[in-house]
Structures are given as C-alpha cells and as structure tokens.
Amino acid sequence: MNDPLRTDVAIVGAGPAGLSAALWCDELGLDALVLEAGREPGGQLLWTYNSIENYLGFEAADGREARDRFVDQIRRRGLNIRPESVAASVALRPLRVGLSKGETIEPRAVIIATGVRRNEPDLENLEHFRGRGILESGKRDKDLAIGKTVMVVGGGDAAFENALILAGTADKVFLVHRRETFRARQEFTDAVRDNSKIEIITNSEVARLEGDGGLESVTLTGDGQERGLSVGALIFRIGVRPNSELVQHLVATDSRGYIRIDSSCRTDQEGIYAVGDVANPVSPTISSASGMGATAAKAVFSWL
C-alpha cells in the first residue's frame, strides 16, 4: 500500500458547505483537501435551475452561476478541489478516508459535506421513462410541457413550486399528494388553489407508468381504488434523503439518517464534523450551508 496522503482536514463534498469549509480552513491556516465524487464541484447547485435570490450578498440566474462564483473564489486561493474522488470509507484510530480508487488519506479531521439526494418512488419502469416524459426540473424542462397534461407528485414546497412553474406552459397540471394536508407553505398552496390549470388530487400515490415509448398515462391508487389519467409528462418532488451512508456506522444520525451535530458542527465522534444539508434537515439553504462550513473550520482549528 502507498503511504497515506496527510492533510489537516479532509472535506468530503464540494457543495456550498464543503467549499465554505475549505475557504475557512485556508483562512485559518489549515491545509484542506476537498474530495468531490462528481466530475465538477457545486453539489446541488448543479441541479438548481431556479434563480437564487435569497443568498445574502449576490443574486444568481441559477445554481451554476452561484457555483461559478464560489469556485472562482476558492481557486483564487489556490485551494485543492479533487473531482471524481469518491470517498468510499472512513475509519478511526487513525482517522482515515479511503478513496474508491484505492488511495488513502490520513487527515487530522474530517468534515462531511455530502448533502442530500432526491427521493424517487420504487416504480418498475421509471428508468425507461426518464427523458421520455419524466422531467428533472420544472424550470429547466418547462418547454417540454407545452400542450401537455403534466403530473407533479409531492406535497412540499418543491412540488407546489414546480406545479406553478409548469402551469405556465402545460395545458393542465395534476398535483398528486399521498395525504390530505400539505407541508408546502401557504404562499404556494394559495397560489396553486388560485390557478385554474392545476387540479389537486390527495390521498393518492403513483402505482404505474404506461406508454408506448414515451409516457402516456399514469395509474394512481388511493382509498383502495385505481384511477388512470392521461399524462404526457411527470415530475416527482417527494423530498430528499441525506447522503450519510459513508459515516453512518461511526456517528449518530436521526431516524431519517441526518447526521447529528452540536452547535459547532461536531458529530459524536472526535475529529468528525458534518456541515450543510446532510446534517441540517431544518434549514437546507445555501446560507446555512455556508455558515456551517465556517463554523466547522473554526471548531476544527480550536480543537487542533
């Protein structure tokens, strides 16, 4: 085995939380290595197609523009972001991060900034209809809804926001939710109820997707009954789940898998910190992620 690569801090994930942690490590004189599984840094910013209007200091047309500003700032400091570096294991005593390509890093502290991923239902032919009716983003794919009946599944802010966006281009939008009441905030629920193109269907779940080639119809189940609807495009917005598998065997998580941290972003395992959405179900925002990155770097600095 090659000698492990040594650094003060290994940061796993290059979304806003990880990038902010890297910036603050640099600010405090700590050597930091940022590991990013994807081909480029940015995390969820890479699939944020809406404009960013609530991050203090600047606005951006979409997530990618915000990402570019963050990354430019990081790179101007000469910081080390390694794309396509998948952290496959974390072990203790000594603290070690193993990469899928075989390399080992021995940092003095690890900051987990792995974010969340979208939930998807367990439907047999979901993959078949991806790109053939299943939309990835209402904002990005709104033109694909022109002249179609669209279904949006979910009852949170994301589902309602997408229903409103798609109603701008689609002939009709069904908003399908598994319960009677919604998590979405009132601003969204009021706007959806006021939109004559949107029909809300509650107490229902998607049972089947059908179509010859492209998506043509969706079968819903609810109250023990099935109902088929002609639908040409569909988007799922049924929440997110934390990417905490890497350290789930080491640190405490809540019942949904979010990493438990204290106010200094420390987990219950000395030397392991967590920042951003993977540890923050309450406020999954760029602002919070950025603040948590700074907090963790400061806490690591004090500890070391």
Q: In the complex, which residues of this chain contact ligand NDP (CB under 6 A)?
A: 119, 121, 154-159, 161, 177-179, 183, 205, 237-240, 284
DSSP string, the chain: -PPPEEEEEEEE--SHHHHHHHHHHHHTT--EEEE-SSSSS-GGGGG--S-B--STT--BSSHHHHHHHHHHHHHHTT-EEETT--EEEEETTTTEEEETTS-EEEEEEEEE---EEE-----TTHHHHBTTTB-S-TTTTGGGGTTSEEEEE-SSHHHHHHHHHHHTTSSEEEEE-SSSS--S-HHHHHHHHT-TTEEEE-S-EEEEEE-SSS--EEEEEETTEEEEEE-SEEEE---EEE--GGGTTTS-B-TTSPBP--TTSB-SSTTEEE-GGGG-SS--SHHHHHHHHHHHHHHHHHH-
CB of 299 to ligand NDP, least distance (A): 25
Shorter beta-carbon distance to ligand NDP: residue 48 or 85: 48
